[in-house]
Structure 1
Amino acid sequence: MSTLSVLPVPPSPRDDAINLHRAFKGFGCDTRAVINILAHRDATQRSYIQQEYRTMYSEDLLKRLASELSGKLETAVLLWMHDPAGRDAVVINESLNVARNLEAASEVICSRTPAQLQYLKQIYHSKFGIYLENAIERNTTGDFQKLLLAYVSTPRHEGPEVNREIAEKDAKVLYKAGEKKLGTDEKTFIHLFSERSGAHLNAISSYYHDMYGHSLKKAVKNETSGVLAHALLTIVRCAENPAKYFAKVCHKAMKGMGTDDNTLIRVIVTRTEIDMQYIKAEYLRKYRKTLNDAVHSETSGDYRAFLLALLGPNQK
């Protein structure tokens, strides 16, 4: 459930384009005006605004925003301006080719549904002129590469139906491939995690806990490491409860000294129009503090104002 607050009758894209252009004119940018407009428009409205701006001013709105804004606010707003699939493509491309942040790439890929991944692959190719599979091959190695390639290319059922008999058998197969043997049969983990539906993996987790006394997540942590472990854990956690997973990612980004702003921006911007209400509820339940309050204490200025606008009203 989205936290995006959109006016019942928003201004026309033309009016928004005019007001944005007005915010850019003169000495300095009226960033509050930019935030008040863009943080309250959905993906379709943002697309129309960009089209209208180009038509009226013969200028790319994203390039103008990049020249007018700076720092973390610029990063957040530019990411926000894309539609969900385009945004995912940008994050993955940046993570694989520029920042070398493989965990960010695996988070996006391993938390998306098969339908989302199929569309993402089309958008990635149209934006960057390379197939997502080729980008993964160029920038990753080993079992992590094998898992990502399998995950983006294997058709998976998306419904809630589960064959309990097969799920129980799969739990036993994973135990034999991991904790029961010396060393780990990563191929089996990759095969089952990339081919089974979210509902099926959730059932496997339940059977695993019942039969072996601890969670499948703990088994993954014991048997794998590094980016492979991160990807496998993302898959199983999102199968169980994606909102809880992203609440944990947000908390980790703000925990301790300093804030991992890139992660915080990525999660808030990519989940606002999808399930941020559920993420906020999970955050409050687990950490006894609202996500809004945490963001308020860890950020400042217009950057803080933009993130809080996307998060919507604070919980009581």
Structure 2
Amino acid sequence: MSTLVVPPVPCTPKDDAMQLHRAFKGFRCDTSSVINILAHRDATQRAYLQHEYTSLYSQDLLKRISSKLSGRLENAILLWMHCPAGRDALILKQTLTVNKNLEAATEVICSRTPSQLQYLRHIYYAKFGVYLEQDIERNTSRDHKKILLAYVSTPRHEGPEVDKEMAENDALVLYKAGERRLGTDEKTFVRIISERSAAQLAAINQFYRSNYGHSLKKAIKKETSGYFGRALFTIVQCADNRAKYFAKVLRRAMKGLGTDDKKLTRVIVTRSEIDLRYIKEEYLKKYKKTLNDAVHSETSGHYRVFLLSLLGPNQ
């Protein structure tokens, strides 16, 4: 469930565009006004706003934002201004081909639903003139490449139906392909985990736990490594509890000395309109602290205000 707070009677796109233009004018930007508008508009409203701004002032709103803001806040707001699929496409293009952040690319691909991935592939090609599979092929390697390619291209059912007999058999096949043998049969892991629905994978994980003493996730950690292991784990964890997976990602982003602002921004911005409320619930349950309080203690200034605005009320 979304945490985005939109006014019950929001301003028109024209009024928003005019308010933003006033906030941008002069030597200093009225950053608070910019945040108050943009952090409380959904994807459709943001798209209309960008179109209206260009119509009124013959300027691209994203370029105007970039010229007036800087640092972490600029990065967060520019990412926020895109629609979910366009944002994912942009993240993947950057992480696969520019800064080679394969951890982030793996997170985005392996945590999305089949329908989200199908639309993402379409948007990716429309934006960049190259297929997502081509950029995966060129910028990843070995088993990591195989699981990503299989996961983005294999059609999967999204319903709650489960074939229990198949799930128990898959658990046995994965056990034999991993813990039961010397060395790991990676092909079997790629085939089953890329082809089964989320509900089916959750059932496999349960059968694995009941039949072999621990979860499939634990077996994956034991039997695989690197980006390949991370991809498999992400798929299975998201099938079991997507919100819990992202709560853990956010915890790692803020744990220890320093904060991984790119990871923190990416998760909050990409999940705000989807399931951030559930992620907040899982965070509180697991770490006994609200996500809002954690973000407040790890960030500052207008960047903090913007992220907290997307997080919604502290509850």
Q: TM range, normalised to the smaller chain? A: over 0.9
Query: Which AA in structure 2 matches 1:198?
Result: A
Q: Does 1:246 align with 2:238?
A: no
Post-superposition offset of 1:177 = 0.3
Task: Say which SS state the counterpart of residue 269 (structure 1) adopts.
Answer: helix
Task: Say which SS state the counterpart of residue 2 (structure 2) adopts.
Answer: coil
How do 1:24-103 and structure 2 match up within 5 A? 24-103=24-103
The 1-side partners of 2:135 and 2:49 are apart by 31
The 1-side partners of 2:119 and 2:177 are apart by 33
How do 1:160-309 and structure 2 match up within 5 A? 160-309=160-309
Post-superposition offset of 1:207 = 0.3
Post-superposition offset of 1:27 = 1.1
How do 1:14-29 and structure 2 match up within 5 A? 14-29=14-29
1:181-235 Cα distance to aligned partner (Å, 9 max, x none): 0000000000011000000000000000001101111100111101011111100
The 1-side partners of 2:264 and 2:99 are apart by 16
Query: Structure 1: which 5+ residue stretches go unaligned?
Result: none
Post-superposition offset of 1:60 = 0.5
4+ runs of 1 displaced by more than 6 Å?
A: none
The 2-side partners of 1:167 and 1:217 are apart by 15
The 2-side partners of 1:245 and 1:27 are apart by 43
Post-superposition offset of 1:101 = 0.6
Q: CA RMSD of the aligned region, Å?
A: 0.5
Post-superposition offset of 1:28 = 1.3
Post-superposition offset of 1:124 = 0.3
Query: Which AA in structure 2 matches 1:14?
Result: K
1:122-155 Cα distance to aligned partner (Å, 9 max, x none): 0000111100000100100100001000000000
Partner of 1:117: 117
Q: Does 1:107 align with 2:126?
A: no
Q: Calculate the TM-score normalised by the size of structure 2.
A: 0.99
Q: Calculate the TM-score normalised by the size of structure 1.
A: 0.99
Query: Which AA in structure 2 matches 1:304?
Result: R
The 1-side partners of 2:147 and 2:244 are apart by 23
Task: Say which SS state the counterpart of residue 103 (structure 1) adopts.
Answer: helix
The 1-side partners of 2:279 and 2:21 are apart by 34
Query: Structure 2: which 5+ residue stretches go unaligned?
Result: none
Q: Does 1:312 align with 2:315?
A: no
Query: Which AA in structure 2 matches 1:41?
Result: R
Query: Which AA in structure 2 matches 1:75?
Result: N
